[in-house]
């Protein structure tokens, strides 16, 4: 009987994919330039872990209720984009319109304001499609993509939390004794919607975008304290989605082949696990690892007090860069894919 092949964790997956990639390449000069850009922000205290709570739609309190808010957020944190020829999915909340990830944050907060217990596993484990449709109602005629898949995620998550973890993700954290790697393992073993893997050249690789960002969001919200205290938080990588690769390409830290760029500009949707998608995500992970190494060298050379740095901080910086420079980066196409993983 053949042994089951081990799944490479995201960092090792990124290294393997970057080594063998055909249509996506890491650009060493671009890596150095991005590292210098981030270094300037970090050294001038323009960017830190505290940025997470400064976003107006993120929770500000470090409580058990916030843990369950973040868990629901990242259980549903995927696939917000809409085609350019139709209205975007928008959520109107407290006098403002929100799109993408921020629309999801607004949806959760709006539901709670209306007395809908959307962060309670006992509620969302048995939500109906009609109830979820109301929660996700759009300010435009365009509904949230993959609504049925989101309902399936909530049903599974609520059932698992009630049956195995006494009705709260807090107990998942407690069980892992301050280890981010153990929590990552617990999440991917118990919640199938978080098993973000693919096969690349006969090797099973992983990206675990939502599982890793779930842990990272808790770490950032709690500023590395209490439920957010992890002794091995640096084992996490960046979160391979469709936005950060776009920014890395814009900043010339990764390059796409002419064939790939032409395909992306054509608007053709990629499929989950196809080679091009795997190369974009894997090379993005490894590029951020190389940026981190460059930053570590810059920090080591500086006489100022050592600053907090890991791949999470770099990812958060790049994602916020995309938001702040939205118009400038639009010439770089995202890889379009309709998936439950990001």
Active site residues: 241
Q: Which residue has the tokens 């698992």?
A: 160
| Sign (positive or negative) of CA dihedral 28, 34, 39, 42 | negative
* Residues β-bridged to residue 24: 256
Q: 10 by DSSP, 3-state: which?
A: helix
For 118-246, strand residue ranges (E) read 197-200, 203-206
Residue 314 to residue 291: CA distance in whole angstroms = 8
336: which residues sit within 8 A by CB, 6+ positions away?
81, 242, 264, 267, 268, 269, 270
Residue 136 to residue 147: CA distance in whole angstroms = 8
Rg for the chain, CA atoms, rounded = 20
User: Residue 178, Cα to own-chain centre: how many angstroms?
Assistant: 21
Half-sphere exposure of 328 (CA within 13 A, CB side): 9
Residue 308 to residue 140: CA distance in whole angstroms = 41
Q: 271 by DSSP, 3-state: which?
A: coil
Kindly state the tokens that stand for 132: 């979820």
183: which residues sit within 8 A by CB, 6+ positions away?
172, 173, 176, 215, 230
The answer to whether the CB of 288 falls within 8 A of the CB of 311 is: yes
């Amino acid at each position: 009987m053949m042994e089951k092949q081990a799944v490479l964790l995201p960092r090792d997956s990124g290294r393997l994919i970057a080594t063998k990639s055909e249509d996506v390449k890491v650009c060493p000069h671009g890596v150095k330039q991005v590292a210098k850009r981030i270094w300037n922000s970090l050294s001038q205290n323009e960017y830190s872990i505290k940025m997470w709570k400064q976003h107006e739609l993120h929770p500000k309190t470090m409580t058990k209720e916030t843990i369950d808010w973040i868990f629901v957020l990242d259980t549903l944190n995927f696939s917000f984009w809409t085609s350019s020829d139709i209205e975007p999915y928008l959520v109107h909340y407290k006098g403002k319109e929100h799109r993408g990830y921020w629309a999801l944050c607004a949806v959760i907060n709006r539901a709670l304001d209306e007395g809908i217990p959307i962060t309670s596993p006992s509620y969302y484990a048995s939500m109906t499609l009609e109830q979820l449709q109301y929660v996700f109602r759009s300010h435009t005629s365009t509904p949230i993509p993959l609504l049925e898949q989101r309902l399936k995620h909530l049903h599974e998550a609520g059932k698992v939390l009630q049956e195995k973890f006494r009705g709260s993700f807090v107990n998942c954290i407690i069980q892992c004794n301050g280890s981010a790697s153990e929590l990552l393992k617990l999440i991917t073993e118990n919640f199938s919607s978080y098993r973000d893997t693919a096969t690349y050249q006969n090797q099973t690789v992983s990206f675990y975008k939502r599982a890793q960002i779930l842990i990272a969001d808790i770490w950032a919200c709690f500023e590395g304290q209490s439920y957010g205290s992890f002794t091995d938080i640096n084992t996490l990588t960046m979160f391979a989605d469709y936005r950060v690769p776009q920014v890395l390409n814009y900043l010339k830290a990764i390059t796409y082949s002419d064939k790939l760029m032409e395909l992306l500009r054509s608007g053709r949707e990629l499929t989950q696990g196809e080679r091009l998608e795997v190369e974009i995500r894997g090379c993005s992970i490894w590029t951020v690892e190389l940026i981190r190494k460059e930053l570590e060298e810059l920090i080591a050379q500086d006489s100022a007090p050592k600053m907090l740095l890991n791949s999470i901080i770099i990812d958060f910086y790049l994602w916020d860069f995309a938001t702040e420079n939205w118009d400038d980066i639009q010439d770089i196409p995202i890889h379009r894919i309709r998936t439950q993983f990001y």
